[in-house]
Structure 1
Amino acid sequence: MSASRRLVIEADGGSRGNPGPAGYGALVRDPATGEVLAERAAAIGTATNNVAEYEGLLAGLRAAADVAPDADLEVRMDSKLVVEQMSGRWKIKHPSMRPLATEASGLVSRFPSVRFVWVPRARNADADRLANEAMDAAAAGRTWEPTIPQSPDPLPHQAPTTNRLSGWMAPPAPPTVTVLLRHGQTPLSVEKRFSGTVEASLTDTGLLQAAAAADRLGAEPFDAVICSPLKRARQTADALARDYVIDEDLRETDFGAWEGLTFAEVRERFPNELNAWLADPAVPPPGGESLLGTVARVAAARDRIMAEYAGGRVLVVSHVTPIKGLTQLALAAEPTVLYRLHLDLVSITTIDWYSDGPAVLRGFNDTHHVARLVVEGE
C-alpha cells in the first residue's frame, strides 16, 4: 500500500454527567470519496468528557492502523483540549490526561504524518452519533455493533486503566472566570439595525447604562479587563475607570453588505441570502463573516485568557454574537443555539472555564443593574 495514502479520522467522546456514564465514537474516512472505512465505538463506564474524547482518539488511531498503517492522517475533533494538547500547543496539566496523551503519542509516532484539526461540533456529528449509540446500547444492556465490517485481524484494544475510569477524579484547578459585559445603547441599536464592525457611539441612555454597569461591577475584583476594539465597547469599558486591554477577536460579527440596515431592509434587498443565513450559522452575509467564524475567533480569545489568567477572574466587554458564541461553547451546544439566545444591552453573563475542558454557565443576560433605567431601544 502506498505511503502517500491519506485518511481522515473523526473522533469524539461524551459523558452524561461529567463524570458519568461515558462513551466514545470514531470513524476512518477516505477524504477523496467520503467513504467510511471503519467505525469504532464503546461505552467506557464512568468517566469525564475529556477522558472519553481521548478514548475516541485512541480508537480512531487504532482503526486507521487497521485500514492503512502507512497512511498520512488528518484527525478531526471538536475537542479543543485534545487537539491543542496533541498538537503540542497546550500543556497537559491534569493527571488523568497524561497517560492518555502518552498512549496517543505512541500511536501517532507509527504513522508517517498526523495532523490535528479542530472542527465545530456540527461537523463532527458522525463521531458524536457513534459515541451516543454506544452509551445508549450500554444503558439498554446491549453491546454496540458497527455498521461497517471490522478488520479481520484488528489490533488488540487496550482497555482503559482502572484509575481513570473509577468514577472519581481529583478536583480540577480553580476555574478561569469570565464576566461578559455587553456594551450600552447606540443609535443603531435603538433603530434595530445590523451593527457589526460599523462604528457607533453610545447614546445618552447608553452612557447611563454603562455607568450603571460600572456601579454594579465596581467593587468586584478582576485580574484584567479586556475589551473589543469597537468604540461602543470602549466607551462602556471607559465607564469602569479601570485600565483595559484591547483584543481584536472580541469585536462583533462583520455583517458585510447588511451593516446599518434594518432586518426589514435586509429581507427586502437580500431575501435569499437572509434565509440562508438564518438556516445555517456557517453561511456569512454578503461580504461579511459567518456566525461560526465569529465563534472560532472568540474561542481563540478565550484560550488566550485561560492561558494568561489561569484561575483568575476577567471582565470582558464585548458584543452580542461574541458573548452568545462563548455561551454556546460553554454549554457544548449546537451552533443553531446562537439563533435562540437573547442578550440585552449591558447585560452580564458569567462563565467558569475549567482547565480540563468543561465549563459552567453561572449567569446569563443579567440586567438587574439597569432595571430602573428607561431604555428607548434594545
Structure 2
Amino acid sequence: MRYPLIAGFTALLVLITALSIYTAREEQRMQTAQADLRQVAITDASAVYVQYCATCHGATGEGLGATPPLDNDGVRGMDYDTLFKTIARGRYGTAMTGWHVDEGGLLTTYQIDQLVALLRYGEWPQVRELAAQQGMIPVSLAAPEVANEQIAAISALGPEGSIWANGLNLYAQNCTTCHGATGEGSSLAVALNTPELRSQDAATITRTISEGVPGTMMAAWNKALQPEEISALAEFLLHWDQVEAAGVALSLPTIEQIDLGDAEAVLALGERLFTTTCTTCHGENGSGGIGPAINSQQFLSRKDDAAIEQAIIQGGKRPNSSMPAFGERLTSVEITALVRYIRSLQATAPSVANPRGTQQGGGGPPWLRDRQP
C-alpha cells in the first residue's frame, strides 16, 4: 500500500510544481503579450499621428509655435479618460478641435485608443521612424515657400517692408533647416524669433550671420550670401514680431505618402530633401558652397554609400567642420533616399577645382601657396 501512496503523493507534488511554474510563466506571458499589443498600437498610431497631429504638435511631439508639446511627463502621466476625451472632444477655447467621428472629426474610437497608447507609452524619437517605415514622410527640414501675397503684405508694412520681405524669403531658403520655420529653434540651433534676439542691435546680428559662431554649428555665411542679403536677413529677424502681427507666417510643408517599393519615388524624395535641406550649405545641385561640393567626381569616387550615410547621421568629423548631425532629425527612410539621390549624381558629376568648399578655399596659408611668377 505504501508504493501507491508514495506514487500518488509524488504525482501531486509534480502537479503542484507544474502549476506553480505555469502560473509564473503565464503572468510573464501575459505581460509580454500586453507589451506586444501596446507596441502594435504605438506603431499603428505613429501613422495616424503624423497624418493628423504632427502639423501642429511637431513630428516628434515637440510642439510648434503656440501649440503645446506632447513629449513631456505631464502628458505621459495623464489617465486614459482625460487623454481620450481631449482627443475625441477637443479643448474649449483653444485650437484643439474634436477628432472623434461623433464630434465631426476623422478618427474612430480604435484610432484614438492607439493615440492614447502612443502619448502614454511611446518613445518619440521612434515615432517619425515608425511612420516613415509605413511610407508616411513627416514634415521635416523642408524649406517653406513664401507666397507672393506674403511678400506684398510685408512690403506694405512701411518704408523698410520690402527689406523685411526679402529677409523672410532668405530665412525660408537658408535658415529653417536648423532654426525652424517659425524661428522656434531645434536640437541643431537656437531660437531666433525671441525678444532676447530682438534686443540686440543690427550690427551684432549681422556680424553673427557673417562670421558664424565658433564652437557651434553656426557657420559663416559671408561666402554664401551677399552683404545686402545678410543685412536684410538681420532686419527681418529684428522685426519678426511686426511681421507676425500682420498675420504673415511661413507655411509648413505638408506630409506626403510615398510607395517605398517605388525606386523612382524614393529617388524623388531624396532629391527634394537634398534641395530643401542640403543646398543651403552644399550649393545648388550640390555644386559646393559653405560645405564641400557633393556633385563632384572627387567626392563621389572616394565615398561609398556607407560613408555618405554616416556623414549624414553623424555630421562632420573635421575640427572646423560645421556639418550638423541629422541622425536624430531624419528617419532611416529619408537618409536612404538622400544617399540614393547623391549616388545618382555620380554618372554625370564633373571634376571640381575646389571640391572642399569655400571655407577651405583661398589657396591655404601663405607658406603653402604656389609662388606667383
Give the alignment's TM-score, normalised by structure 2.
Answer: 0.24
- More helix, by proportion: 2
Give the alignment's TM-score, normalised by structure 1.
Answer: 0.24
- More strand, by proportion: 1
By relative contact order (CA 8 Å, sep 6+), the higher-ranking structure is 1
Q: Tell which structure's C-alpha radius of gyration is larger.
A: 2
